[in-house]
Amino acid sequence: MPSKILIIGACGQIGSELTTKLREIHGVENVIASDINTRKLDLVNSGPFEIIDAKNFNAIKDCCKHYNIDTIYLMAALLSATGEKYPMEAWDLNMNSLFHVLNLAKGSTIKKVYWPSSIAVFGPTTPRKDTPQHTICEPTTVYGITKQVGERWCEYYHKKYGVDVRSIRYPGIISHKAMPGGGTTDYAVEIYHEAIKHGSYECFLSEDTNLPMMFMDDAIKATIDLMDASNEDLTIRSSYNLAAISFTPKQIYESIKVHLPHFEMTYKPDFRQAIADSWPSSIDDSVARKDWNWQHHFDLDAMTKVMLKELKIKYLN
């Protein structure tokens, strides 16, 4: 029997592309997308879709029963920058949705759960260079706090109840398909859009802010690779470190200028600078590479070529 998959938060930046890829792999009818609204009509119309509030336990439970779901991807969350504006809403959504899914998996036919964490679990006391898998986690944002607490609950439910829950600490994610969702690393998506549309960009981080980043194709690949990995090979049930590339706003600017010589960028750091300064500049993901053979494919220049090519099609054709 093929897996029956429910994606909660399917209209988000990662969820939308993950849904498309999973439908290619498992068949459209076996991947049920859900979100609180229908803002992405192409995704809504491309296969089974349900309006579900991730904070509503009964709605999730009923959907799982109706479609005989055995695998859940919980992608709904309020991200770092938005979470600082609405801290209680971020706590409510990010934590209660996770409890709902973990409790469903504990006592039903749900065989496997995916829940994303983030480099936001780290803080100013964390080693910033080559941040190890096991290290100090003292996050300074509400988003980071929810991810840190969520990691502990995932590990607890695995050890206590045998829930097969899997997680990745995503770095900043860059995509030409989905617009940013309120994260501190959003400049690395916005800069490409503004380069094509206006030829200039005002960056909300300083030019030398080095942060771990990843092209969306690699992020989707990592997520699916982890979910496909043998249960016996996994040694981490909190969340795996994941890395691909690290760069500064100045470096991404220089990468774009190779293709768009007239592109200009200025810098005006705002409240997100303090958040970025509390995060690592590079990540040691050797455990993921050992446990489930993780490998990334895109470096900065390869990513820039794809981003500019696709956004030119989007805006100039």
> For strand 264-267 and strand 200-203, is the pairing parallel, antiparallel, or unpaired?
parallel
Contacts of 85-93 with CB under 8 Å at 24 or more apart are 87/142, 90/142, 90/143, 90/146, 91/142, 91/145, 91/146, 92/55, 93/54, 93/55
Contacts with 296 (C-beta within 8 Å, 6 or more apart), sequence order? 214, 218, 222, 243, 244, 245
143 is catalytic: yes
**Which tokens is 145 given?**
């706090």
Distance CA 190, CA 197 (A): 10
Contact 118, 69 (CB under 8 A): no
d(CA 250, CA 207): 5
Contacts of 55 (CB under 8 A, 6+ apart): 92, 93, 96, 97, 100
Q: Which of 67, 73, 86, 143 is catalytic?
A: 143
Could you list the active site residues? 143
